[in-house]
Every structure is written in structure tokens, then in C-alpha cells.
């Protein structure tokens, strides 16, 4: 079984993905976690899915706050992604956050910020799946996306400037 798990981990590193930061609130301050396990789930109603390690501080924070935002990162936002991926470190995001409607925090200059209310929470192995009801979307400038592949950040050449 260990061999299968190792190969499974390796296989997933070969799936290129976009990079998001899932923002929520901790102690009244913005807090973000870097997440690639994110996909749109439904348009009617508008639902989005993110999967977070259950032991991540963000998981309990989202359960407490009942709201989260998904910020889709642009190619020039590697530093933002690295902050949200630092194991065990506090992930307060004041330096990268722009607005707050009282319920949501937006990563400045992200490609999009998707505001969600928690609709459903599903335990799945060592992760927790959050299904969010999309309450609002703020579209940023159209720029090239930040990607993750082979445990490295990279870019997709869209011809758009980052």
C-alpha cells in the first residue's frame, strides 16, 4: 500500500494546477492558506469546492467563521503563495489583503476573488471538503495565472503580462 501511496503522491505532482489562496479570519484578522485542491462544482446554484488538510489551522478557522474567499493567484504572486504554504507558521495576510466587506478578505491584484458562505462540510480521509455557496465575485485584471507542477511554481504563457 505504501508503494501505491508514493506513486499516487508522485502522480498528483504531475497534474498542473492553478494556485489559490483560501482566505478566512483568525482573531479578527485575515488569514490565508495556499490551496490547489479547488474546483467549481455547480453553476445553479453557484457552488465551489476546496479541500483542506483537517489539521490545518485554516480548517477550524473556516468552520468558526463560516465564510471563506478563494483568491486565484496571478503569475507575479509567488510570494503570496509561499506565505500561505509555510508549514506551521502563522498565515496572517494583512500585507496582501485589500478589502473587507465584514465577511470576506480579498488578495490584492488576484485574478479573481470569490466570496463564499460555507454550504456543506464533508470529512474525507485526512482532509475536510468545504463546499461554498458563491455570494459574490470580484474579477481582477486579466493576467497570466500562477501554476504549480512538479512541486514548483511556474507560468502559463498566455501572452498576457503578469
Ligand X SMILES: Cc1cc2nc3c(=O)[nH]c(=O)nc-3n(C[C@H](O)[C@H](O)[C@H](O)COP(=O)(O)O)c2cc1C
Based on the shown chain and the rule CB under 6 A, indicate whether residue 148 belongs to the binding site for ligand X. yes
- Please, which residue, 91 or 115, has the CB nearer to ligand X? 91
**Among 81, 85, 62, 78, which Cα is nearest to 131's?**
62
The secondary element (H helix, E strand) that includes residue 45 is: none
- What is the C-alpha separation between 13 and 4, in angstroms, rounded? 14
DSSP state of 12: H
Query: What are 107's strand-pairing partners?
Result: 97
Based on the shown chain and the rule CB under 6 A, indicate whether residue 19 belongs to the binding site for ligand X. yes
CB of 61 to ligand X, least distance (A): 10
# of chain residues touching ligand X (CB under 6 A): 17
All cell numbers assigned to 20: 489559490
Give the per-residue contact string, 71-110, with ligand X (x = CB under 6 A; - = no). Answer: -------------xxxxx----------------------
Residue numbers 29-58 binding ligand X by CB under 6 A: 33-37, 51-53, 56-57
- What is the C-alpha separation between 36 and 77, in angstroms, rounded? 14
Distance of CA 83 to the CA centre of its chain: 12
- Please, which residue, 33 or 112, has the CB nearer to ligand X? 33
CB of 147 to ligand X, least distance (A): 9
- Please, which residue, 13 or 99, has the CB nearer to ligand X? 13
Asked whether 116 and 133 are in contact (CB, 8 A), the reply is yes
Binding footprint of ligand X on the chain (CB under 6 A): 19, 33-37, 51-53, 56-57, 84-88, 148
Amino acid at each position: 500500500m505504501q508503494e501505491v501511496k508514493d506513486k499516487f503522491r508522485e502522480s498528483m505532482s504531475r497534474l498542473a494546477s492553478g494556485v489559490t489562496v483560501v482566505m478566512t479570519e483568525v482573531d479578527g484578522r485575515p488569514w490565508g492558506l495556499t490551496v490547489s485542491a479547488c474546483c467549481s462544482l455547480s453553476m445553479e446554484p453557484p457552488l465551489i469546492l476546496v479541500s483542506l488538510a483537517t489539521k490545518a489551522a485554516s480548517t477550524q478557522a473556516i468552520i468558526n467563521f463560516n465564510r471563506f474567499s478563494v483568491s486565484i493567484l496571478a503569475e507575479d504572486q509567488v510570494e503570496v503563495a509561499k506565505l500561505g504554504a509555510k508549514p506551521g507558521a502563522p498565515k496572517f495576510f494583512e500585507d496582501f489583503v485589500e478589502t473587507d466587506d465584514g465577511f470576506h478578505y480579498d488578495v490584492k491584484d488576484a485574478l479573481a476573488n470569490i466570496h463564499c458562505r460555507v454550504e456543506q462540510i464533508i470529512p474525507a480521509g485526512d482532509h475536510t471538503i468545504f463546499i461554498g455557496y458563491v455570494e459574490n465575485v470580484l474579477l481582477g485584471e486579466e493576467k497570466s495565472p500562477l501554476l504549480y507542477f512538479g512541486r514548483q511554481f511556474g507560468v502559463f504563457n498566455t501572452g498576457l503580462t503578469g
